[in-house]
Structure 1
């Protein structure tokens, strides 16, 4: 027996007629009859009998029909899976990003993709940049976003965004009317800071040191989004990436350009020891689109 015989048998069982089975399969009626005879011979028993001008399946044929239907259902499942893989709608993709991106912004940017692909399992981890590079090198995640490049031989690194840090102030702050805030203006302001080992803080501190400005840290917190909460409540000022604190209205928190510019890069890290899945490729494309509004310089890959 072969698949064509099984198709002819299933179509005849479902339509109750050789002629209608032929129409469904797009072949001639004699071709279906020939397939049914060959299938019957393979089985060693009759499949149909004529009764009152109707084609009636035998008990043995009914028993076979159940298994044949299961087989074709499994085939259809394989076909659906193949379509989902081709359309990047199925699979598992794991991403690790610094807290400034992972806490809020990536959820906002990637939600439309994920809601349209319920069979795509997406895992997001919040890690510091050195740990992200380690996870990518060990092939424990598919995509890493890092503010540090990686020179590991098993990791490909691509700059996907270069952004300028911004200054955030309480809405009622005296400097809130300005279009830009100079680092020198923050000399005596209570500063809401990230933890001392945070890579972003290292960049901020270096900018203050270059200008010879002593930063007066009043509060130290683990997350940039937490900084925004303190600033919105009038506790102090800070310097953060432009993609944090987007949920706060201008009546709570004011976002201003920081001068001189204090740039940072975001790198996309991927393992190079195995090809990425189609789903991972699609997610990488969407991450590039998600960060594009904050990219101050077009960086060639």
Structure 2
């Protein structure tokens, strides 16, 4: 028996008639009768007897039914699987990101993406930017999210957002009363910023030098969160990326943009030439939507 014969047999068993089977399969009644006739000829025994206007299954048909129903149960399972895969409700997603990104809006996007997707699993790694790019280049993760610059032939990038260094300082600080902080206003202030080996330190140093400000740097940090915590405890003004300020609770602190702004790009990093899975396409769309909603919400 071929699969079409299985379908006709199963439909007749479910409906009890050729007419019902034709309606169920959305085909004509003669086509069902023809398939059934050919099937019985191949098998060399009858599958149904006509009793009182209905088809009565023979003992041979009843013996076959459990195995054929098992075939259709598996087909139904495959159909559900394909629907879940197409709908982005099932599968695995591996993402790596720079520490402040992974622990702020990316974690938020992953958490909200998982809602309604009980069959999905996510691996989210928090690393430094070079490590993220290495993982993507080695195809150990599907997607990376880092700050520019990225220069590896094995990967390709796509702009996700434009980010800025901000002044993170207590609400009670006089500079926090301004909508933005002129870089020149930082002269003489105790400054917390990145270690020289951090890629953002060059941006900060250039902005201060262009404004003619010789900074009074009292603390240097490797990650933004450490600078934010130092500012919370009164060490000084943190010139850092403020993502973690919005992701965690620091009610005593404010973030104010600098004037002129110190901006840089945040990019999505993928293995070069690798097609996106349906799951990844849907997640990237969701991530972008999360950023739009985040920027539109209260700061």
TM-score scaled to structure 1, two decimals?
0.82
User: Residues 191 and 236 of structure 1 are in contact (CA less than 8 Å); yes or no, is this contact kept in structure 2?
Assistant: yes
CA distance in 2, matches of 1:39, 1:203: 77
User: Residues 22 and 28 of structure 2 are in contact (CA less than 8 Å); yes or no, is this contact kept in structure 1?
Assistant: yes
Q: Paired residue for 1:255? A: 255
Q: How many angstroms does 1:51 deviate by?
A: 4.7
Q: Paired residue for 2:127? A: 127
- Which runs of at least 4 in structure 1 moved beyond 6 Å after TM superposition? none
User: Residues 180 and 258 of structure 2 are in contact (CA less than 8 Å); yes or no, is this contact kept in structure 1?
Assistant: yes
User: Residues 161 and 294 of structure 1 are in contact (CA less than 8 Å); yes or no, is this contact kept in structure 2?
Assistant: no
Aligned partner of residue 5 in structure 1, secondary structure = helix
Q: Does residue 207 of the first structure (1) align with residue 207 of the second (2)?
A: yes
Q: How many angstroms does 1:110 deviate by?
A: 4.3
Q: Paired residue for 2:29? A: 29
Aligned length: 294
Q: Paired residue for 1:66? A: 66
User: Residues 128 and 198 of structure 1 are in contact (CA less than 8 Å); yes or no, is this contact kept in structure 2?
Assistant: no
1:173-188 to 2 correspondences below 5 Å: 173-188=173-188
CA distance in 2, matches of 1:122, 1:228: 29
User: 1:57-107, CA deviations, whole angstroms, 9 ceiling, x for partnerless residues?
Assistant: 233322322222222222233333333333444333222111111112212
Aligned partner of residue 260 in structure 1, secondary structure = strand
> Could you list the runs of 5+ residues in structure 1 that have no partner in the other structure?
296-301
Q: Paired residue for 2:15? A: 15
Deviates more, 1:209-218 or 1:6-15: 209-218
Q: How many angstroms does 1:192 deviate by?
A: 4.3
User: Residues 99 and 127 of structure 2 are in contact (CA less than 8 Å); yes or no, is this contact kept in structure 1?
Assistant: yes
Q: Paired residue for 2:171? A: 171
1:129-278 to 2 correspondences below 5 Å: 129-194=129-194, 197-210=197-210, 211-218=212-219, 220=221, 223-247=223-247, 252-278=252-278
CA distance in 1, matches of 2:73, 2:123: 31
CA distance in 1, matches of 2:93, 2:216: 40
User: 1:142-178, CA deviations, whole angstroms, 9 ceiling, x for partnerless residues?
Assistant: 1112223333222112333222221111122233222
Deviates more, 1:269-278 or 1:42-51: 42-51
User: Residues 93 and 142 of structure 2 are in contact (CA less than 8 Å); yes or no, is this contact kept in structure 1?
Assistant: yes
CA distance in 2, matches of 1:202, 1:10: 71
Taking structure 1 as reference, are residues 41 and 225 closer, same or farther at Cα in structure 2, changes over 3 Å only? farther
CA distance in 2, matches of 1:25, 1:232: 69
User: Residues 49 and 58 of structure 1 are in contact (CA less than 8 Å); yes or no, is this contact kept in structure 2?
Assistant: yes
> Could you list the runs of 5+ residues in structure 2 that have no partner in the other structure?
none
Deviates more, 1:230-239 or 1:134-143: 230-239
CA distance in 2, matches of 1:155, 1:104: 24
TM-score scaled to structure 2, two decimals?
0.83
Deviates more, 1:227-236 or 1:60-69: 227-236
Taking structure 1 as reference, are residues 267 and 206 closer, same or farther at Cα in structure 2, changes over 3 Å only? same
User: Residues 8 and 21 of structure 1 are in contact (CA less than 8 Å); yes or no, is this contact kept in structure 2?
Assistant: yes
Aligned partner of residue 246 in structure 2, secondary structure = coil
